[in-house]
Structure 1
Amino acid sequence: MILVTGATGTVGSEAVQLLSARHQPARALVRDPDRVTNRTDLADEIEIVTGDFDRPDTLDAALHGVDTVVLVSPAVPAQEIAVIDSAVRQGVSHIVKITSKASADSPVDRRRGQARIEAHLAATGVAHTLLRSNAYLQNLLALAPMIRQTRGFVMSAGDGQVGMIDARDVAAAATAIATAPSTRAAPTGSPALL
């Protein structure tokens, strides 16, 4: 059984759709089940479960009987660490973490948070795969007003180059890893740069 967190977000919802298309038994963890759209498009193998990263009891219930977690969230350390700790308690064997460039000394808060989460995950000893996607193409739509006004956009990289990827490709990679143990051949925790 695979659990996908963030199942109503861009990457998580796509991962759930891909698992559904494969008729792969999975759970979609959501805070608000009313946000699940197109439930009729999902195969019967997809179970919708309600959980809250700030309530470990809901996480333990959602992770009961799960083998693999696709961990997608906004990188709030306390919340992702709660999911990881629940996964350990429930005997999860593999975590596919969607992350980004992680650096403990980065001036970017999100990157420091990712470093903290990744360090905690590594310390648990649970087998894991890190998918380090940098920036989603879908997010450019939110920058459209700035691009229209300035003919450019500003990101935390300053004048640096930013590698972008379609969130659907990240979901496809996460799904492939979660459903095929042979794709986990890299050493535990080795990042896959997307």
Structure 2
Amino acid sequence: MIIEDIKTRMKLTGMTNTQLSSLIDSSQAQISLFFKGEGASLKINSLQKCFDELGMDTGIYTRRYELAIRAAERLKKNSIEKVSLLSKEEMVNATKLEQINQFIDVDFQEFQKIKEAGIVDIESTYPFFRTTVLQLMGTGAQPTKSSVNTSLFNIAKVIGLLAPVGLLAGPIGLGISLGVNSLTRASLISLPKIGKSIYPLISMTELILKRKK
């Protein structure tokens, strides 16, 4: 919950409600009500100042997305199969994007541990980034729900992760398979909070890593 995240970050820095309110141009009373969840809200600019002052960088997701878009554009002439097998070093060499080196390269077991612990951001791993690049190769910079499902279907089909028969022979079936149904009810309860819409990318990443074991 965002309120708890902010309060925890304040503890780390030793910041009080009074100090925070003065830094983000809000009243102490407004901050207190916001933290109590009693209907008070912060204006967008105040909330952004709050993130900035506490070093909570939400822009990191946009920067990763933009990097993935650039990588997908530079790799679009390559096959899905080839890109799915690229090591981090090979992708850097192929795209000339040195920032890719900053991602954490992990195997299947390490990826699972990161997902389950929720300490390190799973999207900071190279395997997840590679899956994102593969998806964006099929959707471009303006994806829709339909194009995302179609892209996932094509990836799974090309690299041999999907049988061409039955329910999963279409984008919607694949989205279901790679989404919530790929995780047991018990695992959903025990896992750190992960948005349901991101499950397919995580599951596809796991399937690719399993194939490479």
TM-score w.r.t. length of structure 2: 0.25
> Whose strand fraction is larger, Structure 1's or Structure 2's?
1
> Whose helix fraction is larger, Structure 1's or Structure 2's?
2
